[in-house]
Amino acid sequence: MPGHPHVARRDGNLYVEGVSLDALAREHGTPLFVYSRQWMLDALAAYQRGFAGRNALICYAMKANSSLGVLRVFAEAGCGFDIVSGGELSRALAVGADPARIIFSGVGKTPAEMKQALAAGIGCFNVESEAELDVLNEVALAAGQRARISIRINPNVDPKTHPYISTGLKGNKFGVAHDRAVAAYKHAARLPGLEVVGIDCHIGSQITDAGPYLDAMDKVLDLVEAIEAAGIRLHHIDFGGGLGIDYNGDKPPAADALWKQLLARVDARGFGDRQLMIEPGRSMVGNAGVCVTEVIHTKPGEDKNFCIIDAAMNDLPRPAMYQAFHAIVPVSERATDATIYDVVGPVCESGDWIGRDRALAVEAGDLLAVLSAGAYCMSMASNYNTRGRAAEMLVSGDSARLIRRRETVQDQLLSEQV
């Protein structure tokens, strides 16, 4: 299946690696997220090929999918982790991540989270404002430590993606403005609780063109020259993540081909000796996952036909949030004519749709697979309408393992009191 080499049909039925989705759904219920371990390792391998022979650290951006079973795959494969909260730090440590290979990003780190990360011994804070420099300095001094930092630069480069996932334009909340960078670094170098070690840039997500990366890289390398001319040595250069995946015929460059092109620019600018860091997320897990859901009803209408499924916007929030496209295919094929449906969930919102105008031959009780559901689905899932979060399975070859049991109403009520 295009973009999903570990999802294939056998005798008309859909499999992830060697495991039948129909069998998993019948045993574990729906909605059900199913992830291919091999797809994740193949995605990581493309980055590893791109950085072969380099002093480089690949940090998985765990906001894309922070389920412990997924994190363990990357921890065992030698990844570092990019975190954006104290909760994510706890998850990374729970799967045995090396704290020295953890980078803490995010615009709103609290003093408590800073203290937690310092106590854990993380590798670096990616600082996103001049005010944060001062707070982190105070927290580090109170703890009797020095915090290793890089400053995230906002290069004002258009990543040509959805505005909600664009992070490198001057109107975005992220990073320090390009023209304030040198002053911010001078200020950081004067603070006794901080140790300046690098520079960071991340311009957005679901980027399918190498051009924005090259533009941002040139701006960052210009700043490295200016910062070092001011007497501040930078040991690493962090180029972030954001590489897109194939949702609907998208054609992003392969990770190894992209980094061959980008590293040629780094070498040409004379910075090939520096440690390089990147923080891929979506491209490591997005196409590894499918969400299996059951058709509750089909509902003909005057203007629209609806296929109502048991997965909803609380399980698969990307269409409601970003008008995002996910391919939707039957788990078992029917030899009947297709009807054009809007595929919708049972949540009481008109925004609760998963796909518009899809040609499907389905009946109540059939199973559908929502593809490319490995990133920003379970990690953004909610309990809206008091719906429990779905179960998750990790497939490796011919075996499947439950990595998250289905959440019950009792689970939800446990932390509440009348």
- 120 dihedral zone (left: phi>0; alpha: psi -120 to 50; beta): alpha
In the 8-state DSSP scheme, what is residue 3? Answer: T
Q: Where does residue 80 rank: exposed (0-12), middle (13-18), buried (19+ CB within 10 A)?
A: buried
Neighbours of 405 (CB within 10 A): 12
Q: Which residues of 313-351 are buried (b: 16+ CB within 10 A; e: fewer)?
A: bbbbbbbbebebbbbbbbbeeeeeeeeebbbbbbbeeee
Is 282 annotated as a binding-site member? yes
CA distance 364 to 291: 17
CA distance 309 to 367: 9
Is 322 annotated as a binding-site member? yes
Is 281 annotated as a binding-site member? yes
Beta-bridge partner residues of 404: 392
Is 280 annotated as a binding-site member? yes
Is 15 annotated as a binding-site member? no
Is 242 annotated as a binding-site member? yes
- Which of 79, 291, 348, 377 is the catalytic position? 348
Beta-bridge partner residues of 293: 368
Helix axes 86-94, 68-76, angle to 10 degrees: 60
* Percentage helix, strand, coil for the chain under 3-state DSSP, each rounded to 5: 35, 25, 40
Helices (H) and strands (E) in the chain, counts: 12, 21
Q: Based on the residue annotation, tell me whether 59 is a catalytic residue of this protein.
A: no
Is 247 annotated as a binding-site member? no
In the 8-state DSSP scheme, what is residue 401? Answer: E
Pairing of strands 80-83, 102-104: parallel
In the 8-state DSSP scheme, what is residue 40? Answer: H
Cα 88–chain centre separation: 13
Is 212 annotated as a binding-site member? no
CA distance 38 to 130: 42
State how far the alpha carbon of 30 is from the alpha carbons of 27, 300, 370, 413, in Å: 9, 24, 12, 21
Annotated binding site: 242, 279-282, 318, 322, 349, 376
Annotated binding site for substrate: 282, 318, 322, 349, 376
Annotated binding site for pyridoxal 5'-phosphate: 242, 279-282, 376
Catalytic site residues?
A: 348
